[in-house]
Amino acid sequence: MPRDDGERNFHLNSTSLVNHTDDFDTFCIELYEGPVVWAVFSVPCSLVGVLASVWLLRLLVQRLRSNMSNDIYMLNLTAMDLMFNISVLPAALSYFIWQNEAYLKICNFLFCLSMSGRPLFMACICVDCYMAVVHPISYRKLKGSRYRQVVCVLVWGCTLIFGLMFVVDPALFTTSYPAMPFALCLPPITFCDAAVFYALRKPDPSGKADVHPQKQRALQTITNSFVMTVVSYLPPLLVYGLTPVWPLTTQQIYCQVGIPTLITTTLGSTILPLLYLSNLGGLKDLRRCGCVRSL
């Protein structure tokens, strides 16, 4: 006997409620296209990112030990990149082969290191560069203090809290919540980059045409920051920020929008170590030792 409209509507509403709560598929078994696209791009990038991050960590530790620089923010950011890049391949295997719920929670947590910790530490790097170029006297007074260590502890604390929220509820990837770190960090990053660029455009009072090494370093920093903003920060801010208006279900947003957008975080975790290695001359060292060969 056919059901009336009221019974049919009740059945559909009940099914939608169950699908939204109990049957949320974190492995996207039926909507597998998004994870496939993410894996195809992210796994090769992450393998390059692991090698670049390990080499960069080695150089940064050497520089810190010899008091050549104070790259503590970059050191922490590179450590985050390394942990994130290491997790990408096992995460892909978990999605398509193991499908282990507990390990997926660990992957979600490690992904948040790049989604929240990366823009936070990049903002710290930009502010530090801004102080060094625009307010050099104040920067010298703070140079010997331990405020950077305190800031690093705070950033790690915020990142851990942010990541634990995604462990508890993976469906947060379907909301605008992942855009919060990018929305908070992009204004100071943009302001500091613009202020540093404006300061570097001013002619040297001594009339010298040569660029001071500190100014050259600052220019490299804001260039790296601009590249990261375009490649790794702005796209997820726009995508996740617009999730409330996507005409898609929660499951579709998670599988077809949220997961593919993570490609940008993988690109950022690969490109920045390579850029910084280039700035430090690390890529030349790789060529000399035979790790990178020109075609």
Q: Burial-class residue 285 by CB neighbours within 10 Å (0-12, 13-18, 19+).
A: middle
What span, in angstroms and rounded, lies between the C-alpha atoms of 58 and 220? Answer: 20
Evaluate if residue 7 carries a pLDDT over 60.
no
Q: What is the pTM of this model?
A: 0.79
8 Å CB contact between 130 and 51: no
Q: CA nearest 131: which of 211, 82, 195?
A: 195
31 pLDDT above the threshold of 50 = yes
For 260, the 3-state DSSP assignment is helix
Per-residue pLDDT of 154-188, as tens digits, reads 999 999 998 888 888 877 777 788 888 888 998 99
Half-sphere exposure of 207 (CA within 13 A, CB side): 0
Specify the DSSP class assigned to residue 23: T
Spell out a b/e string for 213-246, using b for 16 or more CB atoms within 10 Å of the CB, else e: eebebbbbbbebbeebbebbbebbbebbeebeee
pLDDT at 292 over 50: no
**Among candidate residues 113, 78, 111, the one with its CA nearest the CA of residue 94:** 111
* Domain locations in the chain as residue ranges: 32-288
Q: How far apart are CA 255 and CA 245, in angstroms?
A: 16
CATH for 32-288, options being 1.20.1070.10, 3.30.110.40, 1.20.120.140, 1.20.1370.10 = 1.20.1070.10
Cα distance between residue 252 and residue 273, in whole Å: 33
Q: What is the pLDDT of residues 219-266, one digit of tens each?
A: 778 888 888 888 888 888 888 778 778 788 888 888 888 888 888 888
Structure tokens, 45: 């990038």
Per-residue confidence band for 288, with pLDDT thresholds at 50, 70 and 90: low
